[in-house]
Amino acid sequence: MRTNKLKQTLESGGVALGAALGFNSPDTVELLGVLGIDYVVFDMEHEVFDELSLLHSLRAAEAAGVTTICRLPNDADLILRALDAGAQGIHVPRVNTPDDVEDVVAAARFYPLGDRSFFAVARSGDYGIGVTEEEYAEFSNRETLITVQIEEKDAVDNIAELLASPGIDIMQVGPKDLWQSMGMPDRSEVQAVADEAIRSAREAGKWVSSYVWLNDTFEQQVDRLMGLGVQMLTASARDFIIEGARGFLSLKNTLNAK
């Protein structure tokens, strides 16, 4: 069983940098780890990322010492299999009500915090070798990180109740879906609501995660988010490829002019 290094960083007040990955490439995961990324979020909500692919990517991340988080629907069976496979955290979008939070926590925590189906001989528990069931339950409850994503108007309206749950660790705002839920107003209005949600999370003692985009506003994004107390900054692995390719291809005109 592996101690959650991301949780240790957050508890110490540090900032962690992560990558969101939505395609099956264990080599990419391992490469990101060698480069020094702190955590990888495997997107099983929007992307075609199956469970067997996830398993191989989890192994690659573990080999590189990277914390693993699965972004997935609020589905108890899927959450169970992701955690049994060895994911060190889950990230559940579209959490709008206290009942939604209760369902997430129940699916991801063992007694007395939840009622996750008990299976102590999966790879997450070292196949039951050298560890008691009591030790596994305590370790899993302590080391598993739960992120809930606030991305609809109902969630904003219920945010105090959502954040009151002791079972969740991290909050993230989904600005694109929030924009849509609010009727697609001016983006500044959405940003104000998102920033207030972040402040509420910090006041409630939760850590906050946010996506950042690797464009010409990157530094401003980071400054603003860290000013709000965000400790987890996640960029898309696709952005790494896109920005690197753009930098390389920008040489084309210069090289052809020679």
The domain 5-256 having CATH identifier 3.20.20.60: the answer here is: yes
Active site residue: 11, 14, 36, 46, which one?
46
pTM, two decimal places: 0.93
Q: What is the pLDDT of residue 252?
A: 80
Scanning the structure block, which residue is given the tokens 């969630």?
Answer: 155
pLDDT, one tens digit per residue, over 134-166 is 999 999 999 999 999 999 999 999 999 999 999
Confidence of residue 254 (pLDDT cuts 50, 70, 90): confident
Which parts of the chain fold into alpha helices (H)?
Answer: 5-11, 26-35, 51-63, 76-85, 98-108, 133-143, 153-157, 159-163, 175-181, 187-203, 218-227, 237-249, 252-256
Helix (H) or strand (E) holding 68: strand 67-71
Q: What is the mean pLDDT of the chain?
A: 94
The reply to whether 46 belongs to the active site is: yes
pLDDT, tens digit, 9 for 90 and up, residues 48-104: 888 989 999 999 999 999 999 999 999 999 999 999 999 999 999 999 999 999 999
117: confidence class by pLDDT, cuts 50, 70, 90: very high
Extents of the domains making up the chain? 5-256
CA 21 – CA 29 distance, rounded (Å)? 8
Task: Name the token pair of 2.
Answer: 């592996």
Q: Which two tokens stand for residue 104?
A: 């997430």
